[in-house]
Structure 1
Amino acid sequence: MAKARQVAGGGRAVEVPPERLRGWFERFSASHGGIVTTAGTPHEIGVTAADGTTATATVPFGPLEEPSLDALVAHVLVPRRIALLLVRLGGHSVGIARDGRVEVSRTDRHLVHGRSAAGGWSQQRFARRRAG
């Protein structure tokens, strides 16, 4: 199922799963009177419909060798193995995913010393300086 959201400056962004991309462009073409032009770069493909509506697809894991819709669909359907890394204060996770599923992952947590909502020694020292 495609997920749509509004974007700054007008228009909307639609996230389409790779296996549904060809059908999405076919439905776009049928809804807007057919695709008149297709143009692209190694990093994105844009189409313009007969009624003037445009759609731009960003190439994941680019670059794309041939800027066409058929090449884009073939490109997104290639199975890929990717590394995942998530880092935040107090923890991290790493993993490897293939075809949308995490194959292996590790997570660790860290105690963050000196982080307290009440403040620390320096905060109290500066407060005393301000007081006189």
Structure 2
Amino acid sequence: MAQTRSVLLEAHRLEGWLTRFLARNGPYTMEPDPGSEASVRIIAANGCAAVLTPPLPAGPRSSLSAPLSGGHGVGSGSPSLTRDHGADLVAALLGRLDLSLPVGLLLIRRGGYSVGVARQGRILASKTGTRYVQGRTAAGGWSQQRFARRRANQAAGLVEETAGRAAALLAAHPPSSLQLGGDRTLAGQVLAEPILRAWAGLPQTPFLTVQDPRYTVLEEAARSALSIRITVTDPPVAS
């Protein structure tokens, strides 16, 4: 079975990635991905395939056009983003990314959070904190119920504090989109807080899985927030 893997790639590194893809897999063709109006699919001569997906959902008029008759592949030599229809597709994909727009960052897990606003991969303002939330207990009866209530109250306090910190930062540096990460349930609860109502409807980049929302992790999220997701499927294995 062919192996599939995904990576996040900053937009300015895409041309170099395409050059390496060509060197490893041979000439390739490009076309709009049938599974997404916003994505581009690459199919190489050796059967290796890749789907390039922008970080934000496509707008109502931003679907990619269909390929030219027969498609236009990229032959030998370094691919250029200024020639052939395949390059036009990539240019259209990159054209959707306005890297100058600020992105709101919200990372939270039980026991800690890190929130901020970033522009062009750099953090403009941030706040990182910790707040104890008790782990699950194997105790039974009334003790288990008491621990569950305490844990719920601690989690609610974490959510409230995170929402308050985030609201202050987002008000000072209004973002155009959001990058959430950590624990999906807690992140959803934070965004549902009334104090964040003004930003809850902003476009969201794909959710990040992070184990510890420290400041260094927030910096990584800032760099990857507007990155292109590339999903590569290796060529079929000869039997």
TM-score (norm 2): 0.40
Whether 1:11 aligns to 2:4 is: yes
Larger Rg: 1
Indicate the structure whose relative CO is greater, using CA pairs within 8 Å and at least 6 residues apart: 2
Alpha-carbon separation, structure 1, partners of 2:24 and 2:135 = 56
Letter in 1 for 2:126: S
Gaps of 5+ in 2: 65-88, 145-239
Q: Which SS does the other structure have where 1:12 is aligned?
A: strand
Q: Which SS does the other structure have where 2:96 is aligned?
A: helix
Gaps of 5+ in 1: 1-8, 125-132
Whose strand proportion is higher, 1 or 2?
1
The match for 1:59 is 54
Two-structure CA RMSD over aligned residues (Å): 3.3
Whose helix proportion is higher, 1 or 2?
2
Letter in 1 for 2:142: S
1:120 deviates by 9.8
Whether 1:123 aligns to 2:143 is: yes
Match 1:47 to one of 42, 45, 50: 42
Whether 1:22 aligns to 2:15 is: yes
Specify whether residues 33 and 60 from structure 1 end up closer, same or farther in structure 2 by C-alpha distance, changes over 3 A only: same
Match 1:79 to one of 80, 84, 100: 100
The match for 1:4 is none
Specify whether residues 66 and 85 from structure 1 end up closer, same or farther in structure 2 by C-alpha distance, changes over 3 A only: same
1:84 deviates by 0.9
Q: For this pair of structures, how many residues does the alignment match?
A: 116
Residue identity (%) = 32
Q: Is the 8 A contact 1:21 1:73 kept in 2?
A: no
1:104 deviates by 0.4
The match for 2:126 is 105
